Amino acid sequence: MSTRASELTAEALHLVAETAVRDIATALDAIVLRDLRKKGVVVGLSGGIDSSVVAALCAHALGSKRVLGLLMPERESAAETLELGGLVADTLGIETVVEDITPILEAAGCYSRRDAAIRQLIPEYGPGWKSKVALPSVIDSDRFRIFSVIARSPDGAETRARVTPVAYLQMVAATSFKQRTRKMMEYYHADRLNYAVAGTPNRLEYDQGFFVRNGDGAADVKPIAHLYKTQVYQLAEYLGVPETIRSRPPTTDTYSLPQTQEEFYFSLPYDQMDLCLYARNNGIPAADVAGALGLAEEQVERVFADIDSKRRATRVLHLPPRLIAEVPEVGR
């Protein structure tokens, strides 16, 4: 028997925050202190909801003195990133360190390699321009979701160009320096303190591969990877994450132009995307989801297909390194 649409909206993603927080805290205590035998955790604070909730959960589980918040802006970060990350740290009473990663990114060629890739598509792209990549909506048509680069000149004129394979892959490879540099800094501080690194993906991101391998995908523990984003917001309210952070739209904070997660990766706003993923995971028919979300059944089928496609395409991101032969003495 399938879950009906009314149940899908009202009940499916509701959790009892007090119980969920208690269970996660118990697990964090066991994983960090007993299994990993680390003295605390490092959390990269972006000013977004996920890292804020992870920091709050860690502080709740281990005590605020065992949590270090890292603020890692770079020259293209949104202006409010540093302020909001500091706000949540102050609220939780955790220590913070600010690491401006711009010089590292410049030295690695993050910006110059990315800009060179963009110039393959938009030759006039240069100093003072800003850019982002965007996908067409999966809801509006059955067109393949092919990235375009959107560039804005210093005088405000926008240019859009569909990506080529070489330019796209180089852009992604170059911008991934940001996530990998942040993770490198997190492990520097974790190593010097004998702490673990807490990752911040929610279930949508974890399931759909919305992370950089060995970048934000790397961590010793991922406290909210099993929670839908809607549930992360429920915990945020319970844990007292500031309203300013809870009301802020999710962004990627990766490109120099403002970019929502929907236009970069997901098909729908997170609350609707959560319900589609939940429905896909639980065998709820597209027709029921369509009724609950006010979409056509055909549109929900496209979202389901997009979910399946992303799972297939990002499967390798989850895999550990492959060995040619088993080494049974290791990893027990």
Partner 1 sequence: MSTLEHEIRSFITDNFLLAEDAASLDGSASLTHGGVVDSVGVVELMHFLETRFGIEITDEETIPENIDTIDNMVRYVSGKLAAADALPSGAGRVDARV
232 binds partner 1 (CB under 8 A): no
Q: Are 276 and 307 in contact (CB under 8 A)?
A: yes
The dihedral over CA atoms of 150, 155, 156, 162, expressed in degrees to the nearest 10, equals -20
From the list 48-56, 145-153, 252-260, 273-281, the region that binds partner 1 by CB under 8 A is: 145-153
Tell me the closest approach of the beta carbon of residue 129 to partner 1, in angstroms: 23
Instruction: Compute CA distances 86 → 45, 65, 245, 326, whole Å.
Output: 8, 16, 11, 45
10 binds partner 1 (CB under 8 A): no
Residues 123-142 that bind partner 1 (CB under 8 A): 136, 141-142
**Count of residues touching partner 1 (by CB under 8 A):** 18
DSSP per-residue string spanning 258-314:
--BHHHHT-SS-HHHHHHHHHHHHTT--HHHHHHHHT--HHHHHHHHHHHHHHHHHH
324 binds partner 1 (CB under 8 A): no
Longest CA pairwise span in the chain (Å):
62
169 binds partner 1 (CB under 8 A): yes
Q: Are 237 and 246 in contact (CB under 8 A)?
A: yes
Tell me the closest approach of the beta carbon of residue 263 to partner 1, in angstroms: 15
146 binds partner 1 (CB under 8 A): yes
Of the pair 163, 236, the CB lying nearest partner 1 is at 163
Coil, strand or helix: which one is 241?
coil
Q: Which member of 2, 6, 164, 282 binds partner 1 (CB under 8 A)?
A: 164
Instruction: Compute CA distances 71 → 40, 85, 87, 168, 202, whole Å.
Output: 17, 7, 11, 28, 20
Of the pair 113, 311, the CB lying nearest partner 1 is at 311
Show the binding pattern over residues 274-313: x = contacts partner 1 (CB under 8 A), - = does not: -------------------------------x---x--xx
67: which strand partners? 41
Tell me the closest approach of the beta carbon of residue 169 to partner 1, in angstroms: 7
- Give the footprint of partner 1 on this chain (CB under 8 A): 136, 141-147, 162-165, 168-169, 305, 309, 312-313
